[in-house]
Amino acid sequence: MCDLLQISRAAYYAWIHRSTRPQREDPRKKLIEAVFLASHRTYGYRRVQISIVQKYGVNINSKAVLRLMNQMGIHSMARKRRFLTKRSDLQNYHCYPNRLNREFVASQPNQKWVTDVTFVPTQQGWAFLSMIKDLHDGFIVAHSLSRQNSLELVLKTMKLAMQKEMVTHGLLLHSDQGFQYTSQSYFALLQEFNITPSMSRRGNCWDNAVMENFFGHLALPPKYVPLSMLVPPAGIGKVGTQPSQAQVVDSPRSCGV
């Protein structure tokens, strides 16, 4: 027959082998399908091969699993890649130069302010404390507490400061690059009050070292106090001084501004 068809005997036996292969591979395809569906269609050919060997004790090469999966038209459902957007790419993102430049000395009140937000423990749980400090005498111009570290907390602190102090043109307000200070609402409030913004460099806490040092020395009472009474004393935080404890104080600026 091979002479009649003008084919070699090796080609004939190769054809016989290929024609019987589907019947031999049906059980392996069923194993592959069972493992693949059990993984919720997340396994690739390598993990499918490992599972078949471990669960069913059937030795099968990973390349054979890949070939059979391609024939069956099944592939792992890979998680879609998430594309993150940088805040600096947003239209309402505002970043300001470091105008303060670590010059933590002011010749007169309401010339240079620094601000930041920290978290403090209370009897009702964690709270967030926003403060504005004057670099002239270390006076706490305004403060505000909230259960959430929100934009409204920072805006409320700024509005309280502007209500308490007679601010002229040329006030410099320095902050870090928190999301509140890069927002459009914060930018609009700066424009409304005619405040010159300044911002720390990214990942550089030393640019706002005065507020970081103040929060680091802010000692709380031995027992957590109620949220409504946790108010820092006015005027504390001068260079070389440390706040003793949180207390309720509502006193005017000592310098008479």
CATH code of the domain covering residue 192: 3.30.420.10
141 and 62 part of one domain = no
**Structural domain that includes position 140:** 92-229
Is the same domain home to 136 and 184?
A: yes
Local confidence pLDDT in tens for the 257 residues of the chain = 677 777 787 887 777 776 666 567 788 899 999 999 999 888 999 999 999 999 999 999 999 999 999 999 998 887 777 766 666 556 678 889 999 999 999 999 999 999 999 988 887 888 899 999 999 999 999 999 999 999 999 999 999 999 988 887 789 999 999 999 999 999 999 999 999 999 999 888 899 999 988 888 775 554 555 555 554 444 443 433 333 333 333 445 644 33
Pairing state of beta strands 125-134 and 140-146?
A: antiparallel
> CA 159 to CA 69: how far, in whole Å?
65
pLDDT at 128: 92
Write the single-letter amino acid at 97: P
| 140 and 25, same domain (yes or no) | no
pTM above 0.95, yes or no: no
On whether both 104 and 200 belong to a single domain, the answer is: yes
Residue 35 falls within a domain, yes or no? yes
Asked whether the beta carbons of 199 and 217 are under 8 A apart, the reply is no
- Residue 25: other Cβ atoms inside 10 A: 15
Number of structural domains found in the chain: 2
140/213 same-domain check: yes
181 within some domain: yes
**Within this chain, do residues 117 and 155 fall inside the same structural domain, yes or no?**
yes
Q: Exposed, middle or buried, 89 (CB in 10 Å: 0-12/13-18/19+)?
A: exposed
- Asked if residue 158 and residue 209 are part of one domain, the reply reads yes
Whether residue 257 lies inside any domain: the answer is no
Instruction: Report pLDDT for 216.
Output: 83
The reply to whether 234 falls in a domain is: no
Residue 151 · residue 180 · CB < 8 Å: yes
